[in-house]
Structure 1
Amino acid sequence: MYQLFIANKNYSSWSLRVWLLMKEMCIPFEEKMITFEGGDSWKKFSSFSPSGKLPCLKDNNLLIWDSLSITEYLAEKISLIWPMNRSARAWARSISAEMHSDFEFFNSKSLSCATEVNTPVIPDNLSKAVTRIDDLVQEGLGNFGGPFLAGEKFTAADAFYSPTIIKINNYNLSVSTETNQYFNKILALPNLKEWIGQAIQEPWKVSEYEEMEKDIGRIIRDKRGQG
């Protein structure tokens, strides 16, 4: 069985991408959580991840690190990870790579499933990122028929955008009606609801990631400790 090494569910957007993909694809794995707490996380993570970052997948004696690399490794064995249609598959790979290498505003912040933030002044780079994501969602739904980004089935593209969907929702940012409907579909996935629920119940708080939310705006709700 695969072993998937992940970090805190409340903070680690990159861990969520692979975790959700494997859950939605019904790929059995043993979850290994290594938290950010206790000092130098790179030193701690590098004891089992060559890059010192998470997620990292272990397949017997083989290690695969980086979310995009793990996705492609799994896709060699499971065809449904990417769309079957060639055009949809090329597009899904492109937007996943764009999320992986771009969208610095979102990827530089913690996931923070537990907090809702009021953003009275929206930075220009955040506004541009949300507009781009809104455009991509509408493009995918229009070209491939929905209800998921690249067609009728959940694929890696949806997994790669799932953390950003959580953030846009928790920042209370506006998107088009079509995009909002897609966001709600992803947020309603039982596996994603499971991740968020477990994230909210985590007892750990890391000041570095907590401060990131305060840089965006005023925290208006913290769901932790609500039972």
Structure 2
Amino acid sequence: MKLVIGDKNYSSWSMRPWVLMKHFGIPFEEVCIEMYEAGSKAAMFAHSPSGKVPSLSADDGLAVWDSLAIAETLAERFPQHALWPRDPVARGHARSISAEMHSGFGEMRTNMWMNIRASFAGKGATPGALADIARIDAIWSECVEQYGGPFLFGEFSIADAMYAPVVMRFNTWEPALSEAAAAYARRVTESPAVHAWIEDARRERHAIAVYDTCA
């Protein structure tokens, strides 16, 4: 399989399937397209009809784009791995909070973008962003308490991959979190697949000026 992604420092959507596949040992070829350059959009369209990353393809004709669609496809193709929780009630819960992440938290996304190499502590804290953060904090805290940790549903799953870029944002912007949510964020940051992504992001040399500064 081939996974097409954007810059690891900036592309939150790309991070999700990459971390998921690395965590579960699913082999893939990585293709990275530097974003916001003259040929970036054309290069992305060559791999995906959406003209966006990530996208996943395979020699058998598989062509999937969008991070959550890729995650669902991987869960179908690799049932030997518990990409979703095995328990159907927990699985429904995990799908719900993953979809909430996928479609929501617009204020936080807009005001606290992903830039792993940056430090914007205390900035971006608009009322809307803070409301989004409070909801995310509640999701993390409640899931860890209900399912016993160390991750949202016990073992690392699609739900954790969906929220991994939020952890990256929180590491950069440093909003106030509850003790439970902060501890969860540290565990995600220290997990091997996420750590590998962070190290790769730090080694990148491509820079996107608009995301490297914050008033």
Q: What TM-score range do you get, normalising by the shorter chain?
A: over 0.9
Render the CA deviation track for 1:54-79: whole Å, top value 9, x for unaligned: 00001113211000111111111223
Q: Which runs of no fewer than 5 residues in structure 1 stay unpaired?
A: 216-227
Aligned to 1:62: 62
2:182 pairs with 175, 180, 189, which one?
180
Aligned to 2:151: 148
Indicate the larger mover: 161-170 or 42-51.
42-51
Aligned to 1:5: 4
Aligned pairs for 1:69-218 (under 5 A) are 69-79=69-79, 80-108=82-110, 110-119=113-122, 122-151=125-154, 153-211=155-213, 214-215=214-215
CA gap 1:182/1:121 in 2 versus in 1, 3 angstroms: closer
Task: List 4+ stretches of structure 1 deviating above 3 A.
Answer: 106-110
| Alignment-mate amino acid for residue 196 of structure 2 | E
SS of aligned partner of 1:32: strand
Which of the two has greater strand per residue? 1
| Alignment-mate amino acid for residue 150 of structure 2 | P
RMSD: 1.5
Tell me how far apart the structure 1 counterparts of residues 6 and 31 of structure 2 sit (CA, whole Å): 8
| Alignment-mate amino acid for residue 76 of structure 1 | E
CA gap 1:3/1:127 in 2 versus in 1, 3 angstroms: same
Tell me how far apart the structure 1 counterparts of residues 187 and 121 of structure 2 sit (CA, whole Å): 23
Render the CA deviation track for 1:138-169: whole Å, top value 9, x for unaligned: 11112211111012x10000000000011112
Tell me how far apart the structure 2 counterparts of residues 203 and 85 of structure 1 sit (CA, whole Å): 43
Q: Which runs of no fewer than 5 residues in structure 2 stay unpaired?
A: none
> What TM-score does the superposition give when structure 1 sets the normalisation length?
0.88
SS of aligned partner of 1:84: coil
